[in-house]
Chain A
């Protein structure tokens, strides 16, 4: 059976990159907007269990980083710099990806997307390593 004619669709890779740019900028704006003791996102785990996970104080240290207080951020949460670096590198990668998608057009080469996914995944595992290992260790202990 013949499929219906192909109409001009969205540039998928550009759209994904654009949405991620919005998400990452929202994270930075949130960090910049709040510099108080009371953050809108509570530390639910600490409140309910008393456990102090490696993500404790991440919002506060992100606030310090966007204001340029790197040493203060490191004191609040020692892992905050590498986690913040993930978002920063991703922002650069998404902007570059968006620009490339606009230049090359749709469809974006699958090889390019595969390289992007692999780099992003490796970066995520490296930067989030303390949080990932804590999460799995806790689950192993509890289950």
Chain B
């Protein structure tokens, strides 16, 4: 009579896999070093697959290997999410650093063009700042649509265009009686 017996095939790999998997899972929940969980996670995944294959071929129990596989997959998913967080941040920081000098040029050009367009009169700062906010929001959307590097000339032109856009977006109302100059926004919605 054939008796169903289990061998120890794949157990060593399974033990290593489950330990590495748990270590990886704990690391994945520590935000500072969550991305590091990838290393033990991938190792645990490898060991667990070997364990399952060995158990299948050698009539061993696959339970340990499957447990290690699940734990390692969860930790790899978390580590991958951390990697996306980190890579996204790095890309954003890199873009900001590469474009920082262009942003400075933009600011200078904007200030210069703004003074030329408006002069140095007494202006209602609240209305102008609202209008400016709208214009800058539009500009921000434009810059967001640009992929990566901003050329120097483009930054200069963008600064001048932003000031012109601000001028266009405001309507000057001169109150002759009080002698005040008031700016009124004409682009209510964007």
Contact = CB atoms under 8 A, between A and B. Distances in A.
B7 A4 contact: yes
B93 interface: yes
A23 B23 contact: yes
Q: Which secondary structure dominates chain B's binding surface?
A: helix
Contacts of B174: none
Nearest to B16: A19
B15 A53 contact: no
B19 interface: yes
A138 B31 contact: yes
Interface string B75-102: 0001001001110111001000000000
Given A7-B8, A20-B19, A124 B78 contact: no
Contacts of A51: 31
Interface in A1-40: 1-10, 12, 15-16, 19-20, 23
Interface of B: 2, 4-8, 11-12, 14-16, 18-19, 22-23, 26, 28-36, 58-59, 64, 78, 81, 84-86, 88-90, 93
The 9 closest A-B pairs by CB, nearest first: A9-B8, A53-B31, A3-B59, A43-B32, A19-B19, A55-B32, A15-B15, A49-B89, A55-B30
